[in-house]
Amino acid sequence: MAAPLVLGILVAVTVRAVLYRSSLAGFISERVEVTSPLNAWKRVVEGLALLDLGVSPYSGDVFHETPLIIYLFHFLIEYSELVFMITDVLTAVALYLAVQDFNKVVFKKQKLLMELDRYASDVAELIRTPMEMHYIPLKVALFYLLNPYTVMSCVAKSTCAINNTVIAFFILATIKGSTLLSAIFLALATYQSLYPLTLFAPALLYLLQLQFIPVKLKSKGFWLYTTQYAALYLCSLVVIVCLSFFLLNSWDFILSVYGFILCVPDLTPNIGLFWYFFAEMFEHFNLFFVCVFQINVFFYTIPLAVKLKEHPIFFLFVQLAIISIFKSYPTVGDVALYMAFLPLWSHLYRFLRNIFILSCVLIVCSLLFPVLWHLWIYAGSANSNFYYAITLTFNVGQILLISDYFYAFLRREYYLTHGLYLRRKDGTEAMLVLK
């Protein structure tokens, strides 16, 4: 299995290298769908130039990266292209290993449930076999590496790729069952962009499952493990934040990075919902809607945790998708990360209802983004409403995609426990509704 992966990696690296040397590299790095004020490479270079001039990079409003990125690129600025290609490869390899281990866990759990007779009798079609699951890790790795969104993110040298790598390592550490590493990588991911805080819940649920600790509020083992994990996470976060303080000897970066993510002062257009909303917001309601939109990202965690406590990795996938859609400055790199997980749920294909329309919507919107941007900014024949409309459609497409997968997952779980061929009381074929 290693050989196809290595081949895939080589192809991906070649594609990126070719694009780096072509004239498309400049065009892609200017695209607002690929870079945002948070992770643009131009701003990293600007921050390092400010540091060379003796001015703190956080004294202005152009640099919003964490101090560890300054530290990393201070030494690696010459090899930036290599760094980004390596991060993509590392992400793909981490996802590959994670999904491989996850498949083993899924298979073991399925076997246990079958022996316990939890499944209905006629669900043989729905049972997953090692044969069909054999190529899933490779598909996941290739889905990430060869996704046009990922390629564009890498060519634009957006630091979203580094963020994705840290999250991928976090997922690998969680699936392997290492509490410490999982906490450390989650702290790094939260330090980088704040929203992965919500991934604490699925990781905790998964680790509890691995340790065979039942999730009961009265159980002492549950609270013990939760406090252990939370303490590790918070301590590593505090250590990383303090290290960043010592880099530049000031706390300016907290306001520049986290204040910026939460308050959304910069209204540069991107593929998200925030920019036009706050460009057209009445000044009086600005604070209220900023709070509402930020709460919206964190709000789904508890209900999803309650519903999906038996399936923490699916919960992780849905949570990642919600972060990518509703974060304050999304880019296609964030979309690429959760899309890489879609091959994991390829067995849900028969239950998906709108997959064709949704994929058409997503592809067409991705193609229309640069067209309508050009018409607004360069040709002047369209206005901002056109780009905004495509943003809305793209986000609706993503939302419906995730909820479609969620629906299919829940439906399969129902069939597994109640039987695939359902009959009504009078013997006719039954219809399932969500009531």
Partner 1 sequence: MAGAVAAVLGLSLLLGSTGGSTGPPRDSLREELLLSPLPSGDLAATFQFRARWDSELHREGVSHYRLFPKALGQLISKFLVRELHLSLTQGFWRTRTWGQPYLQAPAGAELWVWFQDSVTDVDRAWKELSNILSGIFCASLNFIDSTNTVTPTASFKPLGLANVTDHHLLRYAVLPREVVCTENLTPWKKLLPCGSKAGLAVLLKAERLFHTSYHSQAVHIRPICRDASCLSVSWELRQTLTVVFDTFSIGQGKRDWSLFKMFSRTVTEACPLVSESKIYVDISSKTQENELLEVTPLPLSVHEASVQGDRRTYAVYDLLSPSLFNVSRSLNVQLKWKRPQDSLDLSTPVLHAQRYVSGYGLQTGEISTLIYNTHPYRAFPVILLETVPWYLRLYVHTLVITTKGKENKPSYIHYQPAQDRRRPHLLEMLIQLPANSVTKITIQFERALLKWTEYTPDPNHGFYVSPSVLSALVPSVIAMKAEDAEQSPLFTSLFPSSDGSSYFVRLYTEPLLVNLPTPDFSMPYNVICLTCTVVAVCYGSFYNLLTRTFHVEEPSRGGLAKRLANIIRKVRGVPPL
Instruction: By CB under 8 A, name the binding residues for partner 1.
Output: 30, 32, 42, 45-46, 48-50, 53, 55, 59-62, 265-269, 273, 275-283, 293, 296, 300, 303-304, 306-307, 322, 325-326, 376-378, 380, 383-385, 388, 392, 395-396, 399-400, 403, 406-407, 410-411, 414, 422, 424, 426, 428, 430-435
Nearer to partner 1, 105 or 342 (CB): 342
Nearer to partner 1, 225 or 300 (CB): 300
Least Å distance, CB 213 to partner 1, is 24
CA–CA distance, 328 with 125 (Å, rounded to integer): 42
CA–CA distance, 319 with 315 (Å, rounded to integer): 6
Least Å distance, CB 384 to partner 1, is 5
Least Å distance, CB 127 to partner 1, is 19
Nearer to partner 1, 108 or 307 (CB): 307
Three-state SS annotation for 305-369: HHHCCCCHHHHHHHHHHHHHHHCCCCCHHHHHHHHCCHHHHHHHHHHCCCHHHHHHHHHHHHHHH
Least Å distance, CB 53 to partner 1, is 6
Cα distances (Å, whole numbers) of residue 271 to 11, 51, 396: 28, 31, 12
Q: Taking CA 258 as the corner, what is the angle to CA 75 and CA 306, rounded to the nearest 5 degrees? A: 115
Q: How many CA atoms lie within 13 A of 7 on its CB side?
A: 6
Nearer to partner 1, 347 or 411 (CB): 411
Nearer to partner 1, 49 or 367 (CB): 49
Residue 429 phi/psi, 5-degree rounding, is -70, 135
Least Å distance, CB 433 to partner 1, is 5
Nearer to partner 1, 95 or 390 (CB): 390
Under a CB-based contact definition with an 8 Å cutoff, are residues 189 and 163 in contact? yes
State both tokens at 266: 């910069």
Least Å distance, CB 188 to partner 1, is 27
